[in-house]
Amino acid sequence: MTSRLRHDLRTLDGLAFHRREWAEPEIRRYHSLRLERGEAVVQPIEGLYHWMLAPITLWPINIQHIFVQCLVQLSGGKRLDREMDLLLAILPAPPDGTVCSVVAEHEHYVQRGHYEELITTAAKFEAEEKKAARNAELAREWSRIKDTWEVDRYRDRKGVIRRTLGAERNLRQPFSVNWKKRAERFQAVFDAFCFRWNLYGMQHDRPLVFKLSVNLTPHGTMVFIPAYWSFDAKRDVRWDAVMKLHRARAPKKQGAALAEGLEHRRAMAEKLKALDSDAKRLRLRGEKRHAFLCQGLGLVEGTDPKRITRLRNEFAN
């Protein structure tokens, strides 16, 4: 085993959601291909390889499925197809190590369902959880569901049956029920059951009540407030911790004043570009060139030349 492979496996060990368990075969296959065929063969999927070692919370698409498809094509001596080339050209690099470290730590809390580092009020959840546990009507409805379906076939390995997930802006896909399929009939009834009792699922016979939660997604930070929750914005959420988590990916300050300043500098940079061309045409050098640029930009002649250089570099691309 190479040191690079050992490093990758340690990285997967440190990630939540059993990442090494299902990602190790593909990582090993990648390194085998790299050693057998050379770096040039795997260079087209170098970005995907780095995404494979990033927290899954940050994945905008199923990176592993794409990674596997690329390995199949490259292992067979084929070039990546045109559509794959386009995907890899558009997909940016994963966030840096600092961001990945913050998100990876958050994932471990999410995996355990622990949001205490972000949420201050547990009493509201605990009261609702106890209420659900002793709710006779809820128990009767659950018994009817179990009498109608073999519910064990719908459990995950933890014994949990989950409601159908919602999505951002309530855009649910798919959002249909084929009543001819028994599994879809079960899911429709189970979703209605969860909706009625504020549940995200059932673990064996235990109702799993919604929590106030904060979750990262590839596109932003979502705060979920259950419908039953009497929300107190000042007391229920540790906003400093939430903002620390969110700002890991949005370190730059924003606002109207900053935006206005950016546009002003952009306009100045456009003017500077034209002045540079004029100075070159006029063969101006040294102090004469600097004075010419300052006059054209409306700056005092004693302006530090580094300020003009920074302005030029900021919008060089």
Mean pLDDT lowest for which of 30-44, 203-217, 288-302? 288-302
Whole-angstrom Cα distance, residue 202 to residue 66? 33
Least confident of 32-41, 50-59, 90-99, 254-263: 254-263
Q: What is the pLDDT of residues 278-311, one digit of tens each?
A: 999 999 989 899 999 999 999 988 888 888 998 8
pLDDT at residue 260, as a whole number: 56
What pLDDT sits at residue 189? Answer: 98
258 has pLDDT over 70: no
Whether 237 has a pLDDT exceeding 90, the answer reads yes
Mean pLDDT, rounded, for 46-55:
96
The residue-averaged pLDDT of 31-36 equals: 96
pLDDT band at 69 (very low <50, low <70, confident <90, very high): very high
Does pLDDT of 259 surpass 60? no
Tell me what pLDDT residue 59 has: 96
145-183 confidence digits (pLDDT tens) = 999 999 999 999 999 999 998 887 777 777 889 999 999
| 9 pLDDT higher than 60 | yes
The answer to whether residues 229 and 212 touch, using CB atoms and an 8 Å cutoff, is yes
pLDDT at 317 over 80: no
Residue 256 has pLDDT above 60, yes or no: no
The confidence score (pLDDT) of residue 23 equals 96
Q: How confident is the model at residue 120 (pLDDT cuts 50, 70, 90)?
A: confident
- pLDDT for 254 beyond 60: no
Q: Comparing 42-51, 159-168, 254-263, 306-315, which segment has the lowest mean pLDDT?
A: 254-263
pLDDT of 301 reads: 83
Residue 249: what pLDDT?
A: 85
Q: Average per-residue pLDDT in the chain?
A: 91
Proportion of the chain above pLDDT 90, given as a percent = 73
Q: Where are the domains of the chain?
A: 3-108, 113-247, 256-314
